């Protein structure tokens, strides 16, 4: 006589269900829902310090961001209370952990680390220093729990003074005896030597449309399309395309992983652009951008009034 056990009974039910309704069960599974564009606002610490005055502490920027009700702070590396070029010490790491704790206690995400490095130089030893500096910055981001760093391509430095470079609209001649192709090769080699550590640390390299090789979309996309890594994307700075910005922003929007939004209350430190942020919000929405928009207030007005009004403008534009 065949004995029906509890185990065989339930096994039979499962087999019958699979045979009778396998196809319909698969059909009943919910389809993947395409995420709708969702924007969070942050504040770049640069909004409170334009290199011209005594540094404004990152902790105070976190406090101000919390009071304004934004979600994140984008940290300018040079503004931190640690040496920019020296190796990390135990004391430096303690500072990073205190920053992270302070942000957590205020309900603020640390969303980007904006660093300065330059891969466009004919000297291999100099480029090696820049790579090692970027490795250190990736480690800083990892310690802070920051998911991306702002990366520069680098520039020729044939106009050494930045104020003079801005008067030239960011355009400078190639270093004599060298070519644009060499510059791109040096830049891509430098980035390639940083990508493995970026992946190990879970830190995205966000290449900005900055001065130098990435001053126009062609240069930025040349690098991104050639390298095509999930750990490398574009950082869209809305104020760095000085002529016909909207078409250029639309070209880089599909590869954008982070946005820094310039405003100029009181007139800009170097120039002033009249940017239509509703239009920019539409460009990002059409590209399916879902992520942070970090305010970079670059005007001469007191940031205590200029930053809040800029945040309100961005809230309206991206609502």
Q: Would you state the pLDDT for residue 242?
A: 93
Length of the chain: 319
For the stretch 260-308, pLDDT in tens is: 999 999 999 999 999 999 999 999 999 999 999 999 999 999 999 999 9
Q: Would you state the pLDDT for residue 38?
A: 84
Q: How confident is the model at residue 178 (pLDDT cuts 50, 70, 90)?
A: very high
Of the candidate ranges 103-117, 163-177, 198-212, 226-240, the one whose mean pLDDT is the lowest: 163-177
Q: Is residue 18 predicted with pLDDT exceeding 90?
A: no
How confident is the model over 202-230, as a mean pLDDT?
96
Distance of CA 145 to the CA centre of its chain: 14
Task: Using alpha carbons, list the distances in angstroms from residue 199 to 20, 88, 193.
Answer: 46, 20, 11
Which residue has better confidence, 135 or 162?
135
- Ordered by start, the domain boundaries in the chain are 36-318
Q: Is residue 192 predicted with pLDDT exceeding 70?
A: yes
Q: Would you state the pLDDT for residue 22?
A: 44
Task: Considering the domain delimited by 36-318, tell me its CATH architecture.
Answer: Alpha-Beta Barrel (3.20)
Which residue has better confidence, 25 or 210?
210
In whole angstroms, give the CA distance from residue 261 to residue 280.
10
Residue 149 pairs in a beta bridge with 113, 205
Q: How confident is the model at residue 9 (pLDDT cuts 50, 70, 90)?
A: very low
Q: Is residue 16 predicted with pLDDT exceeding 80?
A: no
Give phi and psi for 289, each to the nearest 5.
Answer: -70, 130
How confident is the model over 53-66, as a mean pLDDT?
97
Q: Is residue 15 predicted with pLDDT exceeding 90?
A: no
Q: Would you state the pLDDT for residue 7?
A: 46
Local structure of 156: helix, strand or coil = coil
Burial level of 199, CB count in 10 A (0-12/13-18/19+)?
middle
Of the candidate ranges 19-23, 58-62, 239-243, the one whose mean pLDDT is the lowest: 19-23
State pTM to two decimals.
Answer: 0.87
Q: How confident is the model at residue 27 (pLDDT cuts 50, 70, 90)?
A: very low
Asked if residue 219 lies in contact with residue 240, where contact means CB atoms within 8 angstroms, the answer is no
């Amino acid at each position: 006589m065949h004995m029906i056990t509890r185990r065989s009974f339930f096994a039979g039910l499962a087999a019958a269900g699979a045979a009778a309704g396998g196809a319909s069960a698969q059909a009943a599974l919910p389809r993947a829902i395409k995420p709708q564009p969702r924007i969070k606002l942050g504040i770049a610490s640069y909004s409170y310090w334009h290199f011209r005055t005594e540094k404004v502490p990152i902790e105070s920027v976190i406090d101000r961001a919390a009071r304004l009700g934004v979600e994140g702070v984008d940290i300018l590396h040079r503004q931190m209370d640690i040496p920019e070029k020296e190796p990390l010490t135990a004391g430096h790491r303690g500072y990073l952990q205190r920053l992270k704790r302070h942000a957590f206690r205020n309900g603020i995400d640390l969303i980007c680390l904006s660093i300065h490095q330059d891969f466009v130089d004919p000297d291999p030893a100099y480029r090696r220093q820049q790579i090692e500096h970027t490795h250190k910055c990736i480690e800083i981001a990892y310690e802070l729990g920051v998911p991306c760093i702002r990366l520069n391509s680098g520039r020729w430095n044939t106009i050494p003074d930045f104020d003079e470079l801005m008067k030239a609209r960011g355009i400078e001649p190639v270093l004599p005896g060298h070519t644009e192709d060499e510059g791109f090769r040096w830049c891509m080699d430098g980035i390639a030597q940083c990508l493995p550590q970026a992946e190990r640390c879970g830190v995205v390299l966000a290449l900005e449309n900055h001065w130098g090789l990435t001053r126009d979309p062609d240069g930025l996309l040349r690098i991104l399309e050639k390298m095509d890594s999930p750990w490398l994307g574009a950082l869209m700075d809305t104020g760095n395309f000085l002529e016909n910005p909207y078409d250029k922003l639309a070209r880089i929007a599909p590869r954008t992983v982070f946005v820094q939004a310039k405003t100029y209350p009181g007139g800009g430190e170097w120039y002033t652009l009249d940017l239509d942020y509703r239009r920019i919000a539409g460009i990002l929405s059409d590209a399916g951008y879902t992520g942070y928009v970090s305010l970079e207030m670059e005007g001469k007005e007191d940031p205590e009034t200029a930053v809040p009004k800029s945040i309100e403008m961005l809230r309206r534009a991206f609502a």
